[in-house]
Structure 1
Amino acid sequence: MPLDRPLNSLGFAKAPADTRVVVAMSGGVDSSVVAAQLAEEGYDVVGVTLQLYDHGAALAKKGACCAGLDIHDARRVAEEMGFPHYVLDYENIFKDAVIDEFADSYLAGATPVPCIRCNERVKFKDLLETARDLEADCMATGHYIQRKDGAHGPELHSAEDANRDQSYFLFSTTPEQLAFLRFPLGHLPSKAATRELAAKYGLAVADKPDSQDICFVPNGDYASVIEKLRPDAIDPGDIVHVDGRVLGRHEGVIHYTIGQRRGLAIGGLSEPIYVVKLDVDAKQVIVGPKEMLATRIVPVREINWLGDAPITSRDEWHISVKVRSTRPPREAILRPISDTEAEVELLTPEQGVAPGQACVFYETVGTRILGGGWIWAGGR
């Protein structure tokens, strides 16, 4: 092979036909476009779809990743574009690695983000190893995020379209995984551009609606799922004001999240009140005024660091962080405690910072993601 052969679009010095790429296909428009585009470019594409939970239940639920109808849609795209497609039963892995922790975290008063754990423990771990077993050169997904080559190796960058950026859900991608992964949609200016490509390739999923819910949580009703998974663990208790007054009763802390205002069913107060703390041991939902939600210091652990220098090489890092997926990055100071634990000081206090959410690190200037970790206790 000539040493001066130009790189193909996936970064390999060989012809697309000699480059095998496994595409993780959910059945949605994003991953379908990735597979179709790579197939049209002449790559040796293998489509893989994961069955993550009960197929019979999945058939009745549209618009959720990896459900029965979506498996059918992924298979149809593969048939249309002429590449092989496989469905892998990951139900037990998904339950052990994602669903059980989701339920236990909620019962412990946290607000988990199962999509991050799914990427971390299933898609970018077990599925990635399956791609290697299939002798693939890389694995491609439909995530809206960018992989760029830097001076020290591949870097993770936010998507071109800030409204579609999924970096919050991918902070735990390791450098080793990043070397094997490709994200062909990250540079697109909008979701409309993705749908235009789907129409160009004649894909039946071109107008398919985006999934809105966590795949195993119908209609966003977390509590009903947890009640089914842990029926003996739901205990009623008191709704208590921070001043000690008992204001009412609740049917389980799983029905509440930090920062919640609606649905408290408490009247007769002179000011709006919010959930400011969940005390699982005492079975109490603690409420108070909005100013009590303001948090400046955020403890973070299980850090995945993607910076060029070790995180502990400095006492402080001036960065930007996201503490919720829907919020823009805000300036902060990161103070490492160890390679995997740190304290984050928000220069402007944020409201509703909750244990179980992710805290994702960004460069203050530019689009690079420096990693992130998990908020493990209430901030201050």
Structure 2
Amino acid sequence: MATKLYNSHLSKIIFECNEYYILDTYISLAYISSEVNSKYLIQTFSDSKADLINLVRRNMNASYKTIFNCIDKLIDKCILSFDKELNSWVLVDMENMTKSKYDSNDESYMDLTGYTNIRNFFFTEEFRKMKAREKRIIIYMAQLCDSKASKFHDSFSMNLLKPNSSWMKVLKTKCKYYAKYTINKMLTKYEHIFKDNSQNMRVKDLSPKKITNFKFYFQCPAVDNKVLEDEYIELVKLSNPKEYDLVKEKIKFAGITLTKKLIMHLVRAISNLKEWFLKERVAQLIINKYRAIQIHKSRENIKSLPAYAAAVVKSVVNEYKKFKEIQKTNNIRKYEYGEHFIEYTNNKADYDDDITFDIKKALALL
């Protein structure tokens, strides 16, 4: 799961896109993605937008058509693409967000715009029900909070009369009166989110009233507070309770120990799979690997669980596709596939060797 948003992506969305739910869609895509060797993948194993949309809709209360349009726009803006080699959707160039400008060559320098941490507030109904311009303001504030200059400030200041004001660009207007109305209404409407200090600061300002009325000063704890790692883990647990219980049960039965972070990665790895029996199979294979590492001491430790889990998921899904091709001639009903697949994997003597080879092969491609 990505815990950060790429500023280059956010800038494209804020300044070039008008879709109401596009920020929510992008945040949801980042949330369901897995960081594998620095790339951010969303494993659906097909280039079907329908599969991707169904994953996004788990975290959003929006229509299929609405999210479809947002996905199309993100693809059009080169923020999202399908990688045929990885057989996954990819958040384009997101690996650049943590790179330093000092370590880059001249060509990629402009792409290194840093990142913005995801806030818990982005997943609340309150954020989702905000107007598009209000969401843009909130995201822009989060960007400012995470910038290097933020350590010198503990609040936000806004001057709508300033030439080339970035706030005006975020609001997508040239009308200072409309901008003033929007900010005034936002600070009043969400007074439980914002602490408005504008009146107190205007009293101290010696500028004419016609100028100070366009200046705003406020704080926003919902944006100031960054999500800690433990909170991300809890968020994954709350979003995928059944998968979490499955993983915990298998860990307990295997008699092994995994950290909260490893459990989170494992839950995230299986959460995007459609069929429950595939979730069980992937979880069991990874648990078996850790059992071999911790108890039997017969395997090397997993260097990167997200990468290894992605390889296991890919291998199991491919095996299931092959199984379905084999069974087409047997007139098996669709709802019986799971039962027969489990029996197939249990009875196939060489399956573990085959799947181990497939996992290594998939891991090499990531």
The verdict on a shared fold, with TM-score over 0.5 as the criterion, is: no
More strand by share: 1
TM-score (norm 1): 0.23
Larger Rg: 2
More helix by share: 2
TM-score (norm 2): 0.23
